[in-house]
Amino acid sequence: MYAKITGTGSYLPAKVLYNADLEKMVDTSDEWIVTRSGIRQRHIAAEGELTSDLAFEACLRALESAGVAAEEIDLIVVATTTPDQIFPSVATILQNRLGAFGGVAFDIQAVCAGFVYAVATAEKFIRSGSSKKALVVGADTFSRIIDWTDRTTCVLFGDGAGAVVLEASETPGILSSQLKADGRHKHLLEVPGQASSGQINGHPFVRMDGQGVFKFAVKSLGEMADQVLREQDLTAADLKWLIPHQANIRILEATAKKLGLPMSQVVTTVDRHGNTSAASIPLAMDEAARDGRLQAGDLVMLEGIGGGFAWGAVLLRW
Ligand code: ACO
């Protein structure tokens, strides 16, 4: 038994923040942001618009595209670092709103690697026979944990959500999923603050060593892509599409170059979405599915990396 993606959906908040808007908020320029990150605009959740609100809309679209009713879902896995509240999970909040009371629901926290962690986990539930129809979601509102006066981070992130329906299938589907983590690199990217006695102790916003992240991401993603392909007796030449976490265009270009893959085979949304953390891969996948780039039988690789560090890859036949 395999697990196969049968539907995709995504949602972006209405408000768009352009680089020109950021020029008025911090000492930066459109030219600096575009050259260093490839980002031109990002969507920002409205006041009171929570991660589960974005995720809910993405799930409705994914269910519709799969032709699956919410009541048929027996597993909900949500990758997020910005849950609505400390508990309960976004997954159970979503379960309630969708009326999908048939099974298991939980969140996964692996920051920008969250979606590949969630897909790999849901796949194991399906392959073991515990679940038949899963909703796998990546949703984040990083705008809530960004210091909007810190130009080194605030220009990079945006909000959004993406979701897929993953179903048990006799044909592949997911061929392979690999996950990895190395907690020694915590200092490269973190929000150190701790909720304690009604307040946050310590820095409550994203703190990042940009160059450290860049080097670690390119090295780790390159090695993992090689390993996943080799284990399936495949090479990068067999790949039709790479759908990577959209951190910044230079990381995507360096990863594609290492694989020997032209950028025309890399699905990119970073210019319009910024870095939406766990949402970026399913947002990009939904776009490529809906505009017809992804065709049945295409070999597709998903790759994500984020704070921890945690990273992973999923190889699948569309
Ligand atoms: N506007 C203008 N100048 C800026 C800005 C800004 N928004 N941010 C930083 N600068 C300045 C710095 O202060 C520095 O000035 P100085 O030379 O006077 O000290 C100068 O620009 C160069 O700064 P660097 O940090 O060396 O710039 P770099 O070329 O490394 O680019 C960047 C920074 C874009 C963050 C890069 O390191 C990068 O892409 N890193 C990857 C980070 C990333 O993608 N993080 C996402 C989260 S992790 C993930 O999703 C995997």
- Of the pLDDT bands very low, low, confident and very high (cuts 50, 70, 90), residue 73 is very high
Handedness of CA 162, 168, 171, 176 (dihedral sign): positive
Alpha helices in the chain (DSSP H): 19-25, 30-37, 51-66, 90-98, 114-127, 151-154, 210-231, 249-259, 270-273, 280-290
Paired strand residues for 10: 162
- Percent of the chain at pLDDT exceeding 70: 100
Determine the atom of ligand 1 nearest the C-alpha atom of 306. 51
Strands lying side by side in the sheet with 299-306: 174-181, 310-317, 299-306, 241-244
C-alpha to C-alpha distance for 80 and 66, rounded to whole angstroms: 23
Give this complex's ipTM. 0.95
Paired strand residues for 266: 242
Mind listing the pLDDT tens digit for each residue in 143-187? 999 999 999 999 999 999 999 999 999 999 999 999 999 999 999
Q: Which architecture does CATH list for 2-170?
A: 3-Layer(aba) Sandwich (3.40)
The reply to whether ligand 1 has any atom less than 6 angstroms from the CB of 212 is: no
Determine the atom of ligand 1 nearest the C-alpha atom of 112. 50
Residue 276 near residue 90, CB atoms below 8 Å: no
Distance 152 CA to ligand 1 centre (A): 5
Determine the atom of ligand 1 nearest the C-alpha atom of 245. 50
Nearest Cα to Cα of residue 116 among 228, 31, 36, 210: 228
Residues 6+ apart with CB under 8 A from 149: 25, 26
Distance 161 CA to ligand 1 centre (A): 25
How many residues can be counted in the chain?
Answer: 318
Q: What is the mean pLDDT of residues 183-195?
A: 95
- For residue 81, give both structure tokens: 């670092």
Distance 245 CA to ligand 1 centre (A): 18
The reply to whether ligand 1 has any atom less than 6 angstroms from the CB of 275 is: yes
CATH number, domain 175-317, options 3.40.47.10, 3.30.70.270, 3.20.20.70, 3.90.1650.10: 3.40.47.10
Q: What is the mean pLDDT of residues 283-307?
A: 97
Known catalytic residues? 112, 245, 275
Determine the atom of ligand 1 nearest the C-alpha atom of 277. 50
- For residue 9, give both structure tokens: 């959906």
pLDDT of residue 123: 98
The reply to whether ligand 1 has any atom less than 6 angstroms from the CB of 151 is: yes
- For residue 293, give both structure tokens: 């780039």
State yes or no: pLDDT of 102 exceeds 90. Answer: no
Residue 45 near residue 159, CB atoms below 8 Å: yes
Pairing of strands 174-181, 310-317: antiparallel
Domains 2-170 and 175-317 share a fold: yes
Atom 26 of ligand 1, nearest CA residue: 211
Mind listing the pLDDT tens digit for each residue in 238-285? 999 999 999 999 999 999 999 999 999 999 999 999 999 999 999 999
| Structural domain spans, the chain | 2-170, 175-317
| Total-model pTM | 0.97
Distance 249 CA to ligand 1 centre (A): 13
